[in-house]
């Protein structure tokens, strides 16, 4: 199913690749098939939602989930990279 309307920034079936230090600050709801974050690139998710079938991070890349940021994926691969979850997001989690 696709979400259509002004609450969606990206909608549809496609792949997104960030290379060589690129930065993407998500807005609203982003629906994608495959997200590849490579070579020092960064994705910041705050006050928005990122939905991707698969997310992979390689080569010192970063996925930062900040206040009111939501990420949903079936597959997350992290190779020599980081995923950071802010205290606001993780508050209340039992570890």
Question: Does pLDDT of 1 surpass 80?
Answer: no
Which of 4-8, 12-16, 56-60, 64-68 shows the lowest mean pLDDT across its residues?
4-8
SS3 87: helix
**Do strands 69-79 and 48-58 pair parallel, antiparallel, or not at all (unpaired)?**
parallel
The enclosing H or E element of 89 equals: helix 87-90
Query: Does any domain span residue 95?
Result: no
Query: Does any domain span residue 91?
Result: no
33: domain range? 8-85
Higher per-residue pLDDT: 92 or 84: 84
- Among candidates 7, 9, 18, which has minimal Cα distance to 61? 18
Angle at 33 between CA 27 and CA 71, to 5 degrees: 45
Confidence of residue 7 (pLDDT cuts 50, 70, 90): low
Number of compact structural domains in the chain: 1
């Amino acid at each position: 199913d696709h979400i259509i309307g002004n609450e969606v920034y990206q909608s549809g079936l496609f792949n997104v690749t960030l290379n060589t230090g690129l930065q993407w600050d998500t807005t609203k709801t982003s629906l994608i098939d495959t997200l590849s974050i490579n070579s020092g690139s960064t994705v910041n998710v705050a006050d928005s939602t990122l939905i991707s079938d698969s997310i992979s991070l390689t080569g010192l890349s970063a996925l930062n989930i900040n206040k009111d940021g939501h990420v949903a994926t079936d597959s997350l691969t992290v190779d020599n990279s980081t995923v950071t979850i802010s205290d606001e997001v993780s508050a209340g989690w039992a570890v």
